[in-house]
Amino acid sequence: MGIWCVEECRVWSAADLGPAGLLAEVPYYPSRLPARDGQTHETVAEISVLLVHEQVFERYLVVDCARLINGERRQYLIDLTATQSTYGGLRWWFCCPKRPNGNVCGRRVAKLYLPPGAIYFGCRSCLGLAYECVHESKRQRAFRAVRKIRRRLGGADDLTEGFPAKPPRMHLATYTRLRDKAARALEWRSAPLRAQLKDALARYETGRREWLQKIQESL
Ligand SMILES: [Zn+2]
Q: What pLDDT, on the 0 to 100 scale, is given for residue 98?
A: 85
For residues 35 and 136, the model is more confident at 35
Q: Are residues 13 and 50 in the same domain?
A: yes
Distance 109 CA to ligand 1 centre (A): 8
Mean pLDDT of 121-131: 83
Name, of 13-22, 42-51, 88-97, 192-201, the range with top average pLDDT. Answer: 88-97
Q: Could you tell me if 91 and 168 lie in one domain?
A: no
Mean pLDDT of 101-110: 87
User: Do 117 and 22 lie in a common domain?
Assistant: yes
Q: Are residues 112 and 11 in the same domain?
A: yes
Ligand 1 centroid, distance to 17 Cα (angstroms) = 19
CA of 136 to the centre of ligand 1 (A): 26
What's the pLDDT at 133? 57
Greater confidence (74 vs 173) lies with: 173
How many angstroms separate the alpha carbon of residue 94 from the centre of ligand 1?
10
**80: CA distance to ligand 1 center in Å?**
14
Residue 134 CA to ligand 1 centre (angstroms): 21
CA of 49 to the centre of ligand 1 (A): 19
Domain count along the chain = 2
In this structure, the answer to whether residues 11 and 51 fall within a common structural domain is yes
pTM confidence score:
0.54
- Give the Cβ contact number of residue 38 at 10 Å: 15
Residues 17, 109 share a domain: yes
116 with 26, same domain: the answer is: yes
Ligand 1 centroid to Cα of residue 122, in Å, is 5
Q: Do residues 96 and 189 share a domain?
A: no
Q: Calculate how far, in angstroms, residue 90's C-alpha sits from the geometric centre of ligand 1.
A: 22
Mean model confidence pLDDT for the chain: 75
pLDDT digits (tens, 9 = 90+) for 157-214: 777 677 888 988 899 999 999 988 888 777 655 445 556 566 666 776 677 777 778 7
How far is ligand 1, taken at its centre, from the CA of residue 128, in Å? Answer: 9
Range of the domain at 156: 136-218
81 & 114 share domain: yes
Same domain, 77 and 12: yes
Task: Give which of 164, 119, 165, 160 is closest to 143, Cα–Cα.
Answer: 160
Q: Are residues 122 and 30 in the same domain?
A: yes
* Percent of residues, the chain, with pLDDT higher than 70: 69
Q: What is the torsion angle, in degrees rounded to the nearest 10, for the CA atoms of residue 19, residue 90, residue 34 and residue 157?
A: 90
Of the residues 79, 99, 127, which one is the last residue of a structural domain? 127
CA of 149 to the centre of ligand 1 (A): 30
